[in-house]
Amino acid sequence: EGGEGMLIEFLFAISKALGLIGCGFFARSLGYTSPQVGAGLSEFVGKVAVPSALFRSLSTLPIFPGQDGVSVELTVLLCGFFGKFVLFFTAAFLGLVLRKSLATCAVFGLVCSLSNDAALGLPILSTTHSETGTSLVFLMTLPCCSLLLPIGLAMCEMSRKQKGRDSGGFFSVLGVTLSRVMRQPLIVSVGLAVAYNYSTNAAPLPRVVDQCLESIMRSLVVAALFSLGSSLVNTNLSFESLLSPLILVALKLAGPGLVCRLSAAPLFGFDSKASLEMLSLYSALPAAPIVWAISKDQKADSDTIGAAVVMGTLLCGPAMVLENDGFREEAQQLAVRLFQRAQDYSGVHIEF
């Protein structure tokens, strides 16, 4: 029952994400929505929904010493973040090789390091690894949003200088860049959440505030994936230009897990099969739609990023089946049952 439950939850989460993308695509294709709808939804996601979700999640999560409830070892978290850190700069370097702007290099890095935790990470990891998986998803969000996201946004702001939007000396540009990054809603929400968490010892939020943020969170996944699907209409992607999102998807789905497996024992001193499997499964999550919203806002190759998010969502299924023993066993059993039903229906029986 456990394996079947895992596979059903997994397939349901993937199908829901793809279904929302499809709804946005067909609604825009049939003229039911205008281009302004997708733009408005992406702005809502990036500036309201995601910051609200981060604040609600991080403000009450046990992340400091002495707080009860942390069920993931520090070495496992460090190993997981190390994998994301390596892939961020690997993907950013790929952008430099392809002669992309610094802003595009930044979103390349973010698309390979920020995962779709809300729509896929939580339902899948909480099913496969219970409370440990849920803690991993939330705890990995903190270093990614407090370190990698500011680095990516700073690179985007530096790209403005390269394009001549800002002028002044080095320290002037540095000050403007830091000021803009620190005013980003995503960064502000993380800072406020950490401050609240530390000052209240992760106490529950006031009921009215919690329910308000929960309502916004419920709209996050729908708005993000619907707007992403809407943006795919009239997207100009040639066969050659599809190579970039394919490479990004390959890096996102396989890269962090591989780095974690190679570095776990020599760098972080653990070789637990269960922990490595959990990290690999988490690493195989597709990119977060928020990265596409950032690329739209920064005018940084949003067509490529959107394609990478959609392709990653399509291809994460096989990647996760390969990473999880429970998924593999249940998938094999499901294939056998389907084959047997096909034989019963056709009346042709093949013995192996």
**Whole-number Å distance between alpha carbons of 193 and 201:** 11
Signed CA dihedral, 124, 135, 149, 196: sign only: positive
Task: Provide the pLDDT for residue 1.
Answer: 39
Q: The pTM is what? A: 0.78
As a residue count, the chain comes to 352
Could you tell me if 127 and 111 are in contact, meaning their C-beta atoms sit under 8 angstroms apart? Answer: no
Q: Which two tokens stand for residue 43?
A: 């702005």
Selection from 188, 175, 207, 96 nearest residue 146 by Cα: 188
Q: What is the pLDDT along the chain (352 residues), one digit of tens a residue?
A: 344 556 676 777 778 888 888 898 898 888 888 877 777 877 787 788 878 888 887 788 776 666 665 556 778 888 888 888 999 999 999 889 888 888 899 999 998 888 877 667 777 777 777 777 777 777 787 778 778 888 888 888 788 776 665 555 656 666 766 777 777 787 888 888 888 988 888 888 899 998 998 888 878 778 878 887 887 777 665 665 678 888 888 888 888 888 888 888 788 887 777 788 788 888 888 888 778 878 887 788 888 888 888 888 878 777 776 666 666 676 667 677 776 777 667 666 665 5
Cβ-in-10-Å burial (0-12, 13-18, 19+) of 201 comes to exposed
Which phi and psi (to 5°) does residue 264 adopt? Answer: -55, -55
The pLDDT of residue 90 is 92
CA atoms in the 13 A half-sphere facing the CB of 294: 32
3-state secondary structure of 217: helix
CA distance 336 to 208: 50
For residue 181, the one-letter residue type is V
